[in-house]
């Protein structure tokens, strides 16, 4: 293994546990400005002295500003490190970090505050190599988990040589360290139902039941689900709200579905499966969020080979179904590599955890990839 990789991976791993504990201690549900500002202040404190910290407008207007931590050097390469600070966990459900054997359990530990810690560690390691880069920037956003509008940051980093995203890492089936170079497109489908209220006991036939219409729509959407088909489409109803009282035919309601596929085109079939009318209720179906897919397998092959050579072990390019902001950059920054974070599991769940023993090997992988980018 290259000496620079070994030395700095060990330093990152030595501090990572304490840094994660401090970052997880801050509850940062999407949309909470105070929590986001606290987390940004901590990231600024952990960043190298050579860096400048800038707050930039978030893609979601109602969220706290995102943060860019930037270093300039005298070289030619420009590298973007990418992550997010927000979680899906509400304040009342937040869990500070605790340890159970190898598991570091806490809200956002693996999605993706552990990755943020590694990204800051890589930034500190690169600070000692200003001759090898023109610019290294760390972008941490505050709205990744709940964003429905356009992602605004791509033009800001157009022309960068590489985007390295620190979502959770993984192992390949043969046990080799893997990074993510392929992701599905993602969409959120919202179906609004417009019916007519009536007394559910004395005059139910005078009403038009929005709940029943949405239940039928949910079933029709689920029938489109085809994870083993040519587009690997998953169409999963996830949220249903209808009605305000137990004795009133619900006049309105809303259904939300999570969609994933190899390309955004696959979602057209889901929209077509929702009729305009069901049981007398009018249905309005809209895709309120669309994230592109990502396929950097070809463009990153040589980079991963070079990184593996410096690391002394193979790095495998793998795929993952979950969405990531890396997908937004992949179309304009061909060298986009995701899944550079630590390993763990239970994302979005109360038992979310990070494996402490993965700190050093995943830091080695991230440093090896960053080093290969700088070497060109």
- pLDDT value at position 34? 97
Angle value at C-alpha 80, between 40 and 74, nearest 5 degrees:
105
Model pTM score: 0.90
Give strand pairing partners of 137.
70, 80
Contact (Cβ atoms closer than 8 angstroms) between residue 50 and residue 104 = no
- pLDDT value at position 52? 98
- pLDDT value at position 321? 83
Locate CATH 3.30.70.360 in the chain.
185-291
Whole-angstrom distance, CA of residue 365 vs CA of residue 374: 14
pLDDT in tens, 268-325: 999 999 999 999 999 999 999 899 999 999 999 999 999 999 999 999 999 998 889 9
Give me the DSSP letters along 172-204.
-TTS-EEEEEEE-EEEEEEEEEE-B--BTTT-G
Whole-angstrom distance, CA of residue 308 vs CA of residue 163: 18
- pLDDT value at position 173? 86
Whole-angstrom distance, CA of residue 93 vs CA of residue 103: 19
- pLDDT value at position 254? 98
Locate CATH 3.40.630.10 in the chain.
3-183+293-375
Whole-angstrom distance, CA of residue 213 vs CA of residue 211: 5
Contact (Cβ atoms closer than 8 angstroms) between residue 67 and residue 55 = yes
For residue 18, count CB atoms less than 10 angstroms from its CB and return exposed for 0-12, middle for 13-18, buried for 19 or more: exposed
- pLDDT value at position 323? 84
185-291 in CATH: which number? 3.30.70.360
pLDDT in tens, 121-155: 999 999 999 999 999 999 999 999 989 889 999 99
Phi, psi of 61 (to 5 degrees): -60, -25
3-183+293-375 in CATH: which number? 3.40.630.10
Give me the DSSP letters along 209-245.
-HHHHHHHHHHHHHHH-BTTSTT-BEEEEEEEEE-SS
What are the mean pLDDT values of the chain's consecutive 10-residue runs (376 residues total)? 95 98 98 97 97 98 96 97 97 97 98 98 97 98 92 96 97 93 95 97 96 97 96 96 96 97 94 96 95 95 96 95 91 96 96 98 98 95
Contact (Cβ atoms closer than 8 angstroms) between residue 194 and residue 210 = yes
Whole-angstrom distance, CA of residue 87 vs CA of residue 39: 12
What are 348's two structure tokens?
């979005």
């Amino acid at each position: 293994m290259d000496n620079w990789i070994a030395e700095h991976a060990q330093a990152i791993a030595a501090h990572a546990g304490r840094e994660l504990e401090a970052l997880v201690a801050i509850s940062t549900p999407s949309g909470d400005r105070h929590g986001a500002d606290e987390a940004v202040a901590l990231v600024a404190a952990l960043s190298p002295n050579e860096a400048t910290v800038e707050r930039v407008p978030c893609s979601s207007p109602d969220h706290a500003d995102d943060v860019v931590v930037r270093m300039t050097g005298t070289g030619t390469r420009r590298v973007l490190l990418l992550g997010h600070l927000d979680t899906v966990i509400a304040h009342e459900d937040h869990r500070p970090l605790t340890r159970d054997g190898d598991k570091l359990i806490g809200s956002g530990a693996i999605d993706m505050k552990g990755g943020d810690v590694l990204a800051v560690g890589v930034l500190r390691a690169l600070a000692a190599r200003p001759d090898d880069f023109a610019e290294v920037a760390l972008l941490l956003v505050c709205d990744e988990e709940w964003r429905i509008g356009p992602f605004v940051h791509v033009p800001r980093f157009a022309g960068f040589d590489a985007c390295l995203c620190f979502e959770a890492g993984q192992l390949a089936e043969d046990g080799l360290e893997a990074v993510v170079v392929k992701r599905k497109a993602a969409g959120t489908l919202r179906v609004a139902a417009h019916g007519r209220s009536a007394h559910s006991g004395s005059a139910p036939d005078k009403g038009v039941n929005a709940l029943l219409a949405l239940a039928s729509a949910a079933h029709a959407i689920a029938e489109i689900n085809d994870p083993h088909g040519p587009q690997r489409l998953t169409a999963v109803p996830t949220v249903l709200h209808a009605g305000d009282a137990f004795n009133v035919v619900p006049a309105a309601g809303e259904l939300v579905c999570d969609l994933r596929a190899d390309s955004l085109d696959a979602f057209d079939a889901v929209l077509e499966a929702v009729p305009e009318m069901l049981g007398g209720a009018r249905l309005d179906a809209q895709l309120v969020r669309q994230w592109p897919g990502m396929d950097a397998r070809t463009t990153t092959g040589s980079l991963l080979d070079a990184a593996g050579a410096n690391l002394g072990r193979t790095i495998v390019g793998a795929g993952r179904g979950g969405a990531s902001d890396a997908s937004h950059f992949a179309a304009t920054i061909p060298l986009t590599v995701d899944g550079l974070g630590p390993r763990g599991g239970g994302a979005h769940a109360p038992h979310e955890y990070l494996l402490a023993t993965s700190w050093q090997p995943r830091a080695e992988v991230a440093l090896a990839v960053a080093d290969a980018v700088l070497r060109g």
